[in-house]
A and B are shown apart, each in its own frame.
Chain A
Amino acid sequence: MTKYLKITLSILMISVIIVSCKKDSPVDEDGLLITFRQECFVSNFELLGSDFVTVRAATAVIDTLAQTINVTVNPGTDLKNVYPQFTLATDCKLDPKVIGKTDLSNLASPKIYTVVSGNRKIRKPYTLNIKF
């Protein structure tokens, strides 16, 4: 009887060890899951003012081939204090991250945001062109 108990316990312990030693799913430097997805594009873009109300005068035009986002904003928009919002393909992330209010007032030098695919192997820089 004791013999069977010992065998059962041993099998259980080995199973636990095997399970605990299983390699975790890979994550990137931000702790985000690295997946197999290769899609890498911006699907939607929004620009909010300091009151978190849109400052767009029209829908943003996203060109995934030219990798540009063209936005026309309302006259008088304070571009030093805006909040850009990107909607990306599944599992993608943005570089640099948008962590708060952003200064996009330098229209002569459009800001570039890079979309990184879910497998973290494809990087596509999008140029954000803003005009009044």
Chain B
Amino acid sequence: MRNKNIKFPALILIMLTSLLACTKQEYTIPDPVSQLTNDCIKRTIGPSIVSLPLEFAYAMALPKINGKLVSAEVEASIAGASGTFLEHRSFYTNSSGVDVPVTIGTPSTTVDKLTKVTFNVDTNASTLRYNYVIPEEARGKSVSFTFTATSSDGKTATYKMGPYAISKMAIKKNLAVSNGVNAFISIEDMAVYNATAAATNAGKVDLVYLYRATPTTFTHALVSPGADAAYLPGVTLPSGVNRSTKLRKVFNLQDRNLSNLQYGIYVDDIDFTQLDMVDMPNYALGLRAEAGVWVETTDKKYRAYIFVNSINAAGTAVISILRYTL
């Protein structure tokens, strides 16, 4: 009798729970926007590197009966470098997938940290892109942004983005090197020197680019000036060029920034901090296009990643460098 009394209510409870769990939640149409509103997305992915842009898309809209957009502005916590701007054109994507611009005002003006666009067309919705060029001052710090839209009814809408950590890395792209001519590479300067300039900057030359058709495994090489003479055949080093730099060959690491936006791989600060360069040699032979080399300078001041953009059998190559200060 007692069992029956328990079993029946328990059964009812289970049935009710099952019914409730299966209740379909109806979609409700959200309330229409009744005032000035805004939204923002960050379009740039990957590490934030000084001299490269951070791009945002800032959208703002208000009901037509409330008026029109008057201005849009962005305040960065650290003033952007030259080239920072807020688009004065609103883009929409047409049926062919092409972004089509519609001019909404005069080109933006930037004063210190503030970049502003004033609308000169009658519109109540717009999406403007903000291009922030990361300044040297921001290296190793973080930067945040405040987007503000103002409408003709005096209302403002604000959207905060960030903070975003700015990488300690420095980047230099598309440096042309050539066998026996512009062959001396400085990681500190992120530059390529000829023999004369290398002699002047002897203490900064970390690598020598050379090309030898034979043996066939030698071809394009980056060799430290301090390496065994066997790896510098026929090379006369300028006076004082004698640093011994550690190198580690890599393949299939096509950093997006170094490869001119071709791939979806990013080298970031953490790769340099976790890099194992113990017992690495001071030469890298047989480099191919899209190969790379991790580098650690002899004074352990810098680590770098050198990406080979292209090679030429005539003994030239184009390289790009990401450098991390330890």
Residues of A within 8 A of B291 (CB): 51
Of B73-81, B108-116, B134-142, B244-252, the stretch lying at the interface with chain A is B244-252
User: Which residues of the other chain, A, contact B285 by a CB distance below 8 angstroms?
Assistant: 74-76
Interface residues of B in 270-326 (CB under 8 A from A): 279-281, 283, 285-286, 291
For A65-85 the 0/1 string (1 means CB < 8 A from B) is 000000000111010110000
Residues on the B chain within 8 Å of A51, using CB: 249-251, 291
Q: Are B251 and A76 in contact (CB under 8 A)?
A: no
B250 cross-chain contacts in A, Cβ below 8 A: 50-51
In the complex, which of the residues B215, B248, B279 contacts A75, with contact meaning CB atoms closer than 8 Å?
B215
A52 pairs with B251, CB closer than 8 A: yes
The interface bits of chain A over 47-69 (1 if a CB of B lies within 8 angstroms of the residue's CB, else 0) are 00111110001000000000000
Could you tell me if B217 and A103 are in contact, using CB atoms closer than 8 angstroms?
A: no
Q: Cβ of A53: which chain B residues have Cβ within 8 Å of it?
A: 249, 251
Question: In the assembled complex, which residues on chain B have CB atoms less than 8 Å from the CB atom of A81?
Answer: 248, 279-281
| A49 close to B249 (CB less than 8 A) | yes
A-chain residues with CB within 8 Å of residue B209 when the two chains form the complex: none
The verdict on B231 contacting chain A, using a C-beta distance below 8 Å, is: yes
User: Within the assembled complex, what's the spacing in Å between the Cα atoms of A97 and B93?
Assistant: 57
Given contacts A49-B249, A53-B251, contact A78 B218 (CB under 8 A): no
The secondary structure that dominates the A interface is: loop
Write the B187-228 contact mask toward A (1 if CB under 8 angstroms, else 0): 000000000000000000000000000010110000000000
Partner of B281, one of A52, A57, A78, A103: A78
Are B249's CB and A80's CB within 8 A?
no
B281 neighbours in A (Cβ, 8 Å): 78, 80-81
Interfacial chain A residues near B249, Cβ < 8 Å: 49-51, 53
Most buried by A among B215, B283, B285, B286: B286
Q: Which residues of B contact A50 (CB under 8 A)?
A: 248-250, 280
Q: Shortest beta-carbon distance, A53 to chain B, in Å?
A: 5
CA distance A126 to B139 in the complex (A): 54
Min Cβ gap B315→A in Å is: 18
Contact yes or no, A103 B279, CB < 8 A: yes
Q: For residue B215, which residues in chain A have a CB less than 8 angstroms away from its CB?
A: 74-75
In the bound complex, what is the Cα–Cα distance between A103 and B279 (angstroms)? 9
Q: Are A57 and B251 in contact (CB under 8 A)?
A: no
Residues on B with C-beta less than 8 A from A74 are: 215, 217, 285-286
Interchain CB contact under 8 A, B217 and A57: yes
Chain A residues within an 8 Å CB radius of B248: 50, 81
Q: Are A75 and B217 in contact (CB under 8 A)?
A: yes
- B251 contacts across to A, CB distance below 8 A: 51-53
Instruction: Please report the C-alpha to C-alpha distance between residue A57 and residue B291 in the assembled complex, in whole angstroms.
Output: 19
Q: A52-B251, A53-B251 are in contact. Are A76 and B231 (CB under 8 A)?
A: yes
Contacts from A to B (Cβ < 8 Å): 49-53, 57, 74-76, 78, 80-81, 103
18 contacts across the A-B interface (CB closer than 8 A): A50-B248, A50-B249, A50-B280, A51-B250, A51-B291, A52-B251, A53-B251, A74-B215, A74-B285, A74-B286, A75-B285, A76-B230, A76-B283, A76-B286, A78-B281, A80-B281, A81-B279, A81-B280
Which 5 A-B pairs rank lowest in CB-CB distance, beginning with the nearest?
A51-B249, A74-B217, A51-B251, A78-B281, A76-B285
